[in-house]
Amino acid sequence: MKLHYLLLAALPCLPLAANATPSSEESVTALETHNRELKVGDKAPDQYKRDDQAIQDWQAKGLPKPEKESHWVRMGEHFVLVQITNGVVLAIQPAS
């Protein structure tokens, strides 16, 4: 039984898969999220669905083209791809 617990304790120390996409591993915490951590699949605050929050020069920032009905916004130190119809976070990338 002790070996079982030892294996469970070691799991967080294992490296993540090398081909995992950064957007699936990233999370963002911003003042606008009331210090709530957002991950891919979570719903962003409604203000990020508005066009005035969209990053217009996403190509210059090295971001991929937004998916249909989505746009890139900045939350703190991250760029976040938000679905404008429902506010779902589609991707998160660190701002460089």
**Using one digit for the tens of pLDDT, what is the confidence trace for 62-93?**
999 999 999 999 998 999 999 999 999 999 99
Q: Of 7-11, 29-33, 63-67, which range is least confident?
A: 7-11
For the purposes of burial, counting CB atoms within 10 Å of the CB of 31, is it exposed (0-12), middle (13-18) or buried (19 or more)?
exposed
| CA 2 remoteness from chain centre | 37
Q: pLDDT category, 32, cuts 50, 70, 90?
A: low
pTM: 0.68
Amino acid letter, residue 73? V
